[in-house]
Amino acid sequence: MTIELHSITYGYIETLPIFKDFQWRVEDGETWAVIGPSGCGKSTLLYLLAGIRQPDAGEVVVKGETITRPRPRTGLILQDYGLLPWETVHQNVTLGLRVREFYGPDGTHAPSDEEVREINARADHWIARLGLENVAGQYPGQISGGQRQRTAIARTLALNPDVLLMDEPFASLDAPTRENLQKLVLQLQAEQQMTAIIVTHSIEEAAFLGKKILLLGKPPNWQTQVIANPGAGGDDYLNSPAYLDVCNHLRLTLEAVI
């Protein structure tokens, strides 16, 4: 099963589309990085894939389904984490599960005691898996940026996604925290066999995370530019000549499209 963009056109201003007859294909289980200059449509691409926005023309197909609304098994993690400041880490991790359980045909039914126990059990599993047990009772304003990002990841993985979309998820973190979370995301992606698409503005991050890298240029984007990067995420890849070659290639290519 794949993700496919079939000749999509989309723009906030009709006379200046961000994408025009744009085509792209992502195979199941792949890890992609998306990079390009500011305003090129990186975040917009994620919103189209998530079903938050709809193309003006063409269609987005995820695992055989034409996307016309948000897809339950697509997880989206935003740059600002999207945590509720008045809820604890544990409550934030259960948020998606609670919303899903309450959403029904009548819009009013409540989860059973058994369902509540299941929600808490799944949240506890991911809180432990991401090393958040010591801060589970604290609020987002009381924990570090890295812990907030781990909370956002735990909340998303608790919903058992098969597609993970991340919008510049590590941009505001210090270098050691950023590198640790990059490695964690790649590990979790492999464990859960998810398809991962990660938007970044960092050449080095794109080269480390994306086994394939999609380059976007100045709108309108109509031609798919892809760089293969099969060594991405490897244990010693950051110290390899191949990594430096990809970084240099990305830098030269981005200079040409800005």
What is the model's pLDDT at position 107? 42
pLDDT at position 214 over 80: yes
Q: CA quadruple 27, 32, 37, 43: dihedral positive or negative?
A: positive
What is the model's pLDDT at position 234? 86
Tens digits of per-residue pLDDT, 67-98?
999 888 899 998 878 899 999 999 999 888 77
Region 219-235 average pLDDT = 92
Percent of the chain at pLDDT > 70 equals 92
pLDDT at position 109 over 60: no
Which CATH code, of 3.40.50.920, 3.40.50.300, 1.10.540.10, 3.20.20.70, is assigned to 1-73+163-239? Answer: 3.40.50.300
Distance CA 48, CA 34 (A): 14
Tens digits of per-residue pLDDT, 156-213?
988 889 999 999 988 888 888 888 889 999 999 999 999 999 999 999 999 999 999 9
What is the model's pLDDT at position 140? 94
What is the model's pLDDT at position 100? 67
What is the model's pLDDT at position 248? 95
Confidence of residue 258 (pLDDT cuts 50, 70, 90): low
- Give, to the nearest 10 degrees, the angle between helix 113-129 and helix 89-102: 140
- Residue 258, classified by CB atoms within 10 Å of its CB into exposed (0-12), middle (13-18) or buried (19+), is exposed
Tens digits of per-residue pLDDT, 35-51?
999 889 999 999 999 99
Average pLDDT, the chain: 88
What is the model's pLDDT at position 231? 93
pLDDT at position 103 over 80: no
Per-domain residue ranges of the chain: 1-73+163-239, 86-160
Distance CA 126, CA 128 (A): 5
What is the model's pLDDT at position 85? 94
| Helical H segments across 18-174, by residue range | 42-50, 89-102, 113-129, 145-157
Lowest mean pLDDT among 109-113, 116-120, 217-221, 253-257: 109-113
Q: What is the pTM of this model?
A: 0.90
Spatial CA neighbour of 165 closest among 40, 62, 242: 62
